[in-house]
Structure 1
Amino acid sequence: MTNRGRYQGDGIGLVDDKGRVAIPSALRAILSANAPKANGKDGGTIIIGAHQKNRCLVAYDPGYVDLLAERLDRLEAANLADDGDIDYNRKRAGASGEAVPFDGSGRFIMPAFPRFYAGIKGHAFFYGVLDYIEIWDPATLIATDGLPPVVKEMARFYMAERGVAL
């Protein structure tokens, strides 16, 4: 992954009734660099899916799919059942994702099921975790045990800027 930009940055986006939201600019710049459009225009493709563990979403560029598949293949090979059978649920959980286009301003339509799964309604909190981006409903993020306090405070901060206390 040495040629790939790492996703660092955070921000909040307003989600409209149709699921339209904009990727924060710092994350959008990395996403565009990792997967530039062939015609050289702004925008590209983002893949959105359910997180394997938490009630949030993961988002990444199409180039990350092969890296994710390799990682899941290694996990699968290292964790065979006693009878030598494969735990197919590892790939089922990791394969969640739908490719959607985003425009030069980072706007895209969040697919309905992932949005439902993560409970995202009016706001989406974006957080870069190096290999991918997590997208959270801010209230769900704050209520989730085991997350770093600084990430929860980021969500509180952005929501307070919008006049919403969490």
Structure 2
Amino acid sequence: MSDVILYTGNAFSVADGKGRFVLPLEMRRQVKLSSGNETRLFLSVHGGNPCATAFGESHRRHLFTEVEELAREARAAGRDYDADLELERRLGTIEEVNFDEGGRFAMHPDIKDEYGITDAVFFYGVGRYIQIWKPETLVDSKDRPELIRNKVRRWLDQRAAGEGK
């Protein structure tokens, strides 16, 4: 299992009849690489953006290791640091799901509800993890790159006109 898996690229997914989304092929390959070739996807909330996150095992381990490092640094500097609370924030919201060979997975209902995700998502690879956005929310997020917001806006317009899924 590689230490650092970097996710890039983006794609849309529309829920199938069973409410499952499809993880894009290249992201699926990276998740499997990150998770020892297993089809395990970890979903969580984003700490600062109104979107979900997805990643493989290597990033989950990174989150734990990062807290341990911050705790060591705080002890060395004589600062207070609540590692337990930070672990709750980083690991306590993670939900594990499996995806099939076609990349289909059922998003955890708590995460869907948190972000108002219903029938479509936008996957956005941003390094160590993938952001999963409700498309309308991403368009309204002024901090996202204009190129990405325009892409999602065009997709939403095409979908409303009956041209997209």
Considering the TM-score relative to the shorter chain, is it more than 0.5? Answer: yes
Greater alpha carbon shift after TM alignment, 103-112 vs 24-33: 24-33
SS at match of 2:11: strand
The residue number in structure 1 matching 2:122 is 125
Would the aligned equivalents of 1:11 and 1:158 in 2 still touch at CA under 8 Å? no
CA distance in 2, matches of 1:45, 1:3: 16
Provide structure 2 residue ranges, at least 5 long, that are not aligned to the other structure. none
CA distance in 2, matches of 1:150, 1:88: 39
Please give the root-mean-square deviation of Cα atoms over the aligned residues, in Å.
2.7
Would the aligned equivalents of 2:67 and 2:83 in 1 still touch at CA under 8 Å? no
Residues 3 and 28 (structure 1), Cα distance of their counterparts in 2 relative to 1, 3 Å cut: same
Please state how far the C-alpha of 1:115 moved relative to its aligned partner: 0.7
SS at match of 2:57: coil
**1:52-86 CA distances to partner (integer Å, 9 max, x unpaired)?**
11111010012221111112333455568x97252
2:90 is aligned with 1:94: yes
TM-score by length of 1: 0.80
Residues 158 and 28 (structure 1), Cα distance of their counterparts in 2 relative to 1, 3 Å cut: farther
SS at match of 2:33: helix
The residue number in structure 1 matching 2:138 is 141
CA distance in 1, matches of 2:152, 2:8: 15
Greater per-residue helix proportion: 2
Please show how residues 1-166 of structure 1 align to structure 2 within 5 Å.
Answer: 3-16=3-16, 18-37=18-37, 44-76=39-71, 84-86=80-82, 89-95=85-91, 96-163=93-160
TM-score by length of 2: 0.81
